[in-house]
Structures are given as structure tokens and as C-alpha cells.
Amino acid sequence: MRFLIAGSSGLLGSALVDRLREDGHQVVRLVRPETDGEVDGIAWDPPGRLDASALGGFDGVVNLAGRSIGERRWSDREKRLLWESRVDTTRLLAQALADSDPRPRVLVNASAVGYYGDGGDDVLTEGSPGGSGFLADLCAAWEAATGPASAAGIRVAMTRSGIVLSADGGALGRLLAPFRPRWLSPYRWGLGGPIAGGRMYWSWISLDDEITALVHLLTRSQIEGPVNLVSPNPVRNREFIRAVGRALHRPTVIPIPGFVLKVVLGRELADALVFEGQRAVPARLEADGFEFADRDLDEAMKEAIG
């Protein structure tokens, strides 16, 4: 099968490209002008034009493009760039796919459990309502931007991912190295612990299960609409941090006050990524017959941290 990947250079994109090629599929990348010249692909420069005639003949498309949400404090400018890199870019791609001939059968578009806002202790399925705040609004608009593709008859799946376990990037990478470089991590020195009491739920998924789920949605599933890409075992922050400590062979008994994260990340970003929890479960994936390889947090964390 032949697949087109946007956002192929990131943590998820690079792993997905490798997996698809290992499985014998042909993979083509959407590449930006600043991309290394050794990377072949179809050129695009969002939010500008994208030639629909170059997009015909793909079996499926995966859109993982977007500016990293947790790398920088949320100034007004940063929030505008985050919005443009997800909403405007997705709308451009969805419209070009709608105008392509022949159209792909499926578009798998990234989203996040941040869609639900602060869910407290409630179990969140794909039918749960959206939350409030910038991140929830961003996720809702990000998903809605796929509208031109679905209106053209393309099956669209929106993947609401949790914390993907990898020490090389994403939320776990930032947790392990909040001040950069990585050796400065309080957890690596046994100086960390639960954050702000540790009661908020964190939904997680191993990198291997995340990639396997993306391939499942591309090649075997008929799911349309939102789908939670999370382990069936969401845990509270204090349990998550204990698993980090066990993987690092370090104690995690020194609590980290909430104000520290607000100083490091800024109040709005800290609230959205740390203090607002989501007890999300993969209801639609499991109903679709997907089998998770990594259900135990300790084992998945040891594999991620190495």
C-alpha cells in the first residue's frame, strides 16, 4: 500500500515511517522547504498552497504535523503559531485531499486527550464532551479542520493521544529534562516526586502501541471520528511518577510544588499539560479488536527510559 505522511520528522512520524516501510509499504513524505535536501517527498509550505494534483493515488494519509505544544511558554504569539501549525495546516491538507484524484480512502489526523480539558476522576470515552481552555479549543478546531476531507467521502479518524512514553521527546521527555540538558532532571538525581499532590489522572500509551494503533487505523480499521490512543490503564500522577522512579532506580519521595511548574512552564501551559488530568480510556480501539502490547505502566516505562 502507498501512504503519505505529514509531520514525518517528529517522534511519532519518524517511528511510523520506519514501521510502515518495515511492513513493506511505500511511504512518501510531505516536506517543507527547510527540510534536509536528502529527504525526498512532496513539497508543501503551509499555510500556503498545496498542489492537489500531487496527492492522488495514495491509499491513506497520516497528518502528524504541528508545532510542539510544550516546548515554549504560551505567549499570545506562541498560541497563534500553535493554532496555525495545526488548524490552518490541517484545513489546507484536508482540502487538497478532497480535491485530489483519486482520493485516499482514509485520513488519520492527530489530536490529543487535551480535547477533554480537566476531566477530574470521570472516565472519558470518545463520547465524552469537550472541555474548556486554549488546549481544548485547539484540539476541537484541529479536528474540525478535517471537514473538507470527510465531506468528500474520505474516512477520517482523529487520534486523541495521551502521553506517549519515550525519553526522546514529547511530554515524558520534557518531564525528565524540564530545565535541559537531560542530566539536570530532578528525577534522575532522586530529587523529584509527585506534582502538586499527584491526584490528577494522566493517560499514557507506549510508543510501540501508539505506532501500532496508527497502522491499525490505516490498514485494518473502519473507525471514523475520534479515537482515544491511550492505554486501558490511566493512572494518577503519583503512580506515574513512581513508575518513572522505578525505571530510573531512583526514589521519588520529594514532592514538587505546583508553583515550580508554573514558574518553569508558565501558568496556562502548566495548567493544560500538568494539572488538568484526563482519565481517558480506549473504548473504540478495544471495541475494534485492537490488542495492546503494553498494559503495565512499569514495564512500558522501563522500556521507554531504558
Q: Which CATH class is domain 2-305?
A: alpha beta
- Domains of the chain: which residue ranges? 2-305
**Rounded CA gap, 33 and 11, in Å?**
20
Q: What is the pLDDT of residue 194?
A: 93
28-39 in b/e form (b: 16+ CB < 10 A) is bbbbeeeeeeee
Determine the average pLDDT of the residues in 190-213: 95
Confidence of residue 264 (pLDDT cuts 50, 70, 90): confident
**Rounded CA gap, 145 and 90, in Å?**
6
Determine the average pLDDT of the residues in 241-248: 94
**Segment 106-125, tens digit of pLDDT:** 999 999 999 999 999 999 99
* Residue 120 amino acid letter: G
Looking at per-residue pLDDT, the higher value among 37 and 221 belongs to 221
How crowded is residue 277: how many other Cβ atoms within 10 Å of its Cβ? Answer: 23
Residue 169's φ and ψ, nearest 5 degrees, are: 170, -175
Question: Residue 234: which residues within 8 A CB-CB, separation 6 or more?
Answer: 162, 201, 202, 203, 204, 278, 279, 280, 281
Residue 285, Ramachandran bin (φ over 0: left; ψ between -120 and 50: alpha; else beta): alpha
Confidence of residue 295 (pLDDT cuts 50, 70, 90): very high
Please give the model's pTM, rounded to 2 decimal places: 0.94
Q: What is the pLDDT of residue 187?
A: 85
Confidence of residue 32 (pLDDT cuts 50, 70, 90): confident
Determine the average pLDDT of the residues in 36-40: 58
Q: Under a CB-based contact definition with an 8 Å cutoff, are residues 108 and 67 in contact?
A: no
pLDDT > 90: percent of the chain: 76
All 3 cell numbers of residue 216? 491499525
pLDDT score of 176 more than 60: yes
